[in-house]
Each structure stands twice: as structure tokens, then as C-alpha cells.
């Protein structure tokens, strides 16, 4: 389900309100907006109706989201919008989500371009109720842009709106070079930190050709950047590269070999920023670790038997863990305020998944109640959505216990960091053949894996984890209950 755009109307009266001439004059003088009035005769009295110009705010797409990045605008300035229609794709801390509008109108002005970052609650665009209000909305957008302080995209923008009494602070453009540039060569809509005006095709072309639009001079109406401007800038950049020194060529070769530019400083993505905040938060929790060795011969045999039916090893481990948690509810509990803890009513097993640029934990909800085949199908669906960055918040924020498996990389053991708001996380190593002593005194070979659990010591104690791991080992070593 797509999110809904937050749209503010506090600074302009509702169009449904009919205002007499005296009160309308007072309203007009008290508002800094440029509203449009329509004259109406009713009962031989002349009244005025004021149309709406709304601010579109950056929505909060999850409880932990503080800022969002504009991935793409699905509509262009001037396009007509219908209630429930997707307008923009926003990258939250862990997913990309289509955001809808719940008002009809026209997308009058875009204040945060694609790739830009805005704080939750800050204005990202203006919505006009009618075509007549588009120009007024654009004027207000330009006024707001020029009167607010420009901030780096990676910093959190203040959520306050200074619509009626903006502070006139002028900041230099973010990407301004040290050399003085003649006024005639600066894009008119880029001066003073304002947004860049370019045609949709020019924006797409600039993205494909890796051209920075802030350095392109527009030749279209009112300095608008068009496709030929982008192509010309790309040609100049290509000529500069081809005439570079041998040292530059060696640097490019090194970059191609390693996949990264050595020595470069790269800012966190929204996902990496969320992971960073969570890891710092986890340091506040007193944790301890308990390890256990589990024989996996029977589980391996079961997996080979039902693998062709779409069952995954991840689903088998999640199911076994969920069944063990059902017998040890304290390990499935959580402490959030440091004063009490909750016995969670559902067993939701989150599983760590590495995706491009970070880590996310899709959640298998009610894992103890689903059969292994349904669980496997659900897991495949979650992984596909995670890699496409289409997970909904409830699909990655509702875990009560977490699994992290590095066994597929040959890692035999490791410790995992406890995610905030949960009681425990289990790190799973590779299953490997090992020489072991049998009960009759002989030496045999068995496949074994090492699991290490990190737990919140405010709620879970050593004996609790030991008992849980013993139950888990029994389920895995005799996995008949996993297929029921």
C-alpha cells in the first residue's frame, strides 16, 4: 500500500468557505500567500471564494523515519492530479515507497528535485486547486526557496514552516565553485540556491549521461534546461576526460578494477544511516552471548528431500526457531523502556538479508503457525521485495527474534549485534562434517553447526538461553515436527 502525501492548508482558507467583502479583505492582508478570488452573486450580494494552494510535505513512512530522499517524481509540474494517484517515490530509511495524494488539483511547483533529501514534515512541492493558481503557487515556491537557508542534502532540514514571515537569509549555492562566474552563464533558476528548472526528458538524459544539471546553462524559455543543453554538456565532459593526463588514466583503471574510487569519501545512504543509528542504539543495551553446537544430519536429509518443493534452509531454520520460542516465551520477549518487558503475543522471526548498500531484516510473521511450504513461499516473496526496496514498514519492523546466517559463506561462527527493541538474535554458522565421539565410545563423522545467541540481559538470563538452545537442538536433530 502506498503512503499518503501530507498536504498542509493552514495558511490559506478553504475554498468551500464563503467570505463577505470585509472579512475577505482582512484575510488577504493577513496572509503572505497570493490567493485567487472568484466573484459570485448570491441573493444580489457579491461574495468571493478563495481557491487553495497547498504545501505537500515529506511524509513519515515509518516510525523511525526522520528524513526522506526523493527517488523520482512520477508527475511533472503542471500535471493534473487525482485523489489516490501516485505522485512521488520516496526512499525512507529502508524502502522505496510510492506516495499518493488525497486531493485533486495540479502539481504546481516541485521544491525538492529527484535525489534531494528533506526532513519529515518539510515542504517538497505545491499543489494548486485550479490551473489559475499554478503561477501563484510557483511564485510562492520561489519565494520560499530564496528566503530559506540552503542546507547540505545530507543534513536534517528544520521542520518549521516560515510561510507568513520568512527569515530573509541568503545562502550560496551548494555546488558553487570558488571561481567567480559571469551572471550570464548561470542558470536563472539556480541562482541563490533555488531549484533547477529542466524538462523531464532533460532530467532523464542528465541521469543517463551523469551530467550535473547545476552546471548546465539552459537555452529554453526562461533559462529552462532542455535535452540539447544536456547533450552539449556531456560532450564537453567527454572531451575533458579524453584529454586527461596519464595519471588520470591510471586512476580510472584502478577504479574499474576495485569497483570503488580509493580515497573517496562517500556519504551514507538512507538505509546505511538507519543501520548506523540502530547500531548505536544497541550499544545502550547490556547483552551477553551463549553458544551451542547442533548436529544437522537429520535436518540436511530433510532439506534434500523437500528442497524440490520450494522449501529453503532459511525457512527450516526459522520454523525450528519459532517452535523453540513457543516453548520459551521469555526469549521472545522485549524491553523498550528499561522498566518493564513484554511477552510478545506473536512469534515473528526476522531474518537478516544483505542488499545493495546495506542490511535489512524481513519478518516472517507468526512463523510458528505457518506450514513449512507457506513459510518458504512467504520468505521468497519478502526477499524479492527487499532487493527491489519495496518492503512495507510492517514487513521489516515487527520482528520479535532475529536470525543472522553467514553459513553460506563458510563462516563457522560469529557474534551478532542485538537489534534495538528485541530480546535476542541468533548467529548461525556453516554446517560442516566433524569427527565426534559416539555414545558407544567410537569415533564417527557428523555434520554440525555452531549457533551463538546475543540477548538482552535485563530480561533474559543464561539459564533461559541454555534451555532454549537445548530445545532448538532437539527440534533440529529430530525435525519431524517441521513439516507438520
pLDDT in 10s for each residue of the chain, 484 residues: 455 554 554 333 333 333 343 333 333 333 334 444 444 444 444 444 455 788 888 888 776 677 888 888 888 888 888 888 888 888 876 677 788 887 888 888 888 888 888 888 888 888 888 877 788 878 877 777 665 544 444 443 333 333 333 333 333 344 433 333 333 334 444 444 445 777 766 777 788 788 888 888 877 656 778 777 787 887 776 655 544 444 454 555 555 555 678 888 888 877 788 888 888 888 899 999 999 999 999 999 999 999 999 999 999 999 999 999 999 999 999 998 888 999 999 999 999 998 877 788 999 999 999 999 999 999 999 999 888 888 888 899 899 999 999 998 999 999 999 998 899 999 999 999 999 887 788 898 999 999 999 999 999 999 999 999 999 999 999 999 998 7
DSSP 413: -
- Measured in degrees and rounded to the nearest 5, phi and psi for residue 262 equal -60, 135
The dihedral formed by the CA atoms of 181, 182, 188 and 189, expressed in degrees to the nearest 10: 10
Distances (CA, A) of 463 to 37, 328, 331, 423, 456: 74, 11, 11, 15, 13
Spatial neighbors of 114 by CB under 8 A, at least 6 apart, are 70, 71, 72, 73, 203, 207
The cell numbers describing 357, all together, are 548498500
Residue owning grid cell 519431524: 480
Secondary structure of 232-265 as H, E, C letters: HHHHHHHHHHHCCCHHHHHHHHHHHHHCCCCCCC
Distances (CA, A) of 238 to 220, 233, 399: 23, 9, 49
The total of other beta-carbon atoms located within 10 Å of residue 221's CB is 8
The answer, as to whether pTM is greater than 0.85, is no
Spatial neighbors of 22 by CB under 8 A, at least 6 apart, are none
Distances (CA, A) of 368 to 296, 323, 379, 399, 421: 20, 5, 14, 13, 20
- CB–CB of 361/399 below 8 Å? yes
Catalytic residue annotation: 457
Amino acid at each position: 500500500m502506498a503512503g499518503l502525501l501530507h498536504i498542509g492548508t493552514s495558511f490559506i482558507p478553504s475554498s468551500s468557505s464563503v467570505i463577505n467583502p470585509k472579512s475577505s479583505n482582512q484575510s488577504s492582508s493577513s496572509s503572505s500567500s497570493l490567493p485567487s478570488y472568484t466573484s459570485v452573486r448570491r441573493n444580489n450580494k457579491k461574495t468571493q471564494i478563495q481557491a487553495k494552494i497547498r504545501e505537500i510535505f515529506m511524509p513519515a513512512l515509518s516510525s523511525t523515519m526522520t528524513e526522506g530522499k526523493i527517488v523520482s517524481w512520477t508527475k511533472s509540474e503542471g500535471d493534473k492530479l487525482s485523489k489516490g494517484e501516485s505522485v512521488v517515490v520516496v526512499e525512507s530509511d529502508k524502502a522505496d515507497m510510492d506516495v499518493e495524494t488525497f486531493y485533486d488539483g495540479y502539481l504546481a511547483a516541485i521544491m525538492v528535485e529527484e535525489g534531494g533529501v528533506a526532513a519529515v514534515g518539510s515542504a517538497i512541492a505545491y499543489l494548486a486547486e485550479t490551473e489559475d493558481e499554478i503561477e501563484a503557487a510557483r511564485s510562492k515556491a520561489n519565494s520560499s526557496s530564496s528566503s530559506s537557508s540552503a542546507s547540505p542534502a545530507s543534513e536534517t532540514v528544520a521542520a518549521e514552516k516560515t510561510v507568513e514571515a520568512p527569515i530573509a537569509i541568503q545562502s550560496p549555492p551548494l555546488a558553487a565553485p570558488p571561481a567567480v562566474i559571469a551572471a550570464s552563464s548561470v542558470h536563472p533558476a539556480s541562482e541563490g540556491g533555488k531549484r533547477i528548472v529542466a524538462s523531464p526528458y532533460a532530467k532523464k538524459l542528465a541521469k543517463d549521461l551523469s551530467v550535473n544539471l547545476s552546471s548546465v546553462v539552459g537555452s529554453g524559455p526562461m533559462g529552462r534546461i532542455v535535452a540539447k543543453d544536456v547533450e552539449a554538456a556531456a560532450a564537453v565532459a567527454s572531451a575533458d576526460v579524453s584529454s586527461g593526463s596519464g595519471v588520470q588514466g591510471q586512476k580510472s583503471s584502478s577504479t574499474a578494477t576495485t569497483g570503488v574510487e580509493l580515497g573517496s569519501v562517500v556519504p551514507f545512504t538512507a538505509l546505511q544511516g538507519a543501520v548506523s543509528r540502530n547500531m548505536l542504539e544497541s550499544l545502550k543495551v547490556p547483552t551477553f552471548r551463549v553458544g551451542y553446537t547442533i548436529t544437522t544430519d537429520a535436518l540436511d536429509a530433510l532439506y534434500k528431500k523437500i528442497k524440490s518443493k520450494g522449501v529453503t534452509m532459511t525457512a527450516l531454520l526459522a520454523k525450528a526457531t519459532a517452535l523453540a520460542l513457543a516453548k520459551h516465551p521469555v526469549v521472545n520477549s522485549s524491553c523498550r523502556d528499561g522498566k518493564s518487558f513484554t511477552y510478545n503475543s506473536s512469534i515473528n522471526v526476522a531474518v537478516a538479508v544483505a542488499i545493495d548498500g546495506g542490511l535489512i531484516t524481513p519478518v516472517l510473521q507468526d512463523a510458528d503457525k505457518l506450514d513449512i511450504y507457506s513459510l518458504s513461499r512467504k520468505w521468497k516473496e519478502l526477499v524479492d521485495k527487499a532487493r527491489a526496496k519495496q518492503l512495507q514498514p510492517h514487513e521489516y519492523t515487527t520482528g520479535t527474534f532475529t536470525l543472522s546466517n553467514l553459513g553460506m559463506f563458510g563462516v563457522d561462527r560469529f557474534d551478532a549485534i542485538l537489534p534495538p527493541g528485541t530480546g535476542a538474535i541468533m548467529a548461525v554458522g556453516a554446517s560442516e562434517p566433524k569427527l565426534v565421539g559416539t555414545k558407544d565410545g567410537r569415533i564417527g563423522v557428523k555434520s554440525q553447526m555452531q549457533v551463538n545467541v546475543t540477548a538482552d540481559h535485563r530480561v533474559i538470563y543464561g539459564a533461559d538461553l541454555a534451555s532454549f538452545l537445548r530445545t532448538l537442538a532437539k527440534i533440529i536433530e529430530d525435525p519431524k515436527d517441521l513439516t507438520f
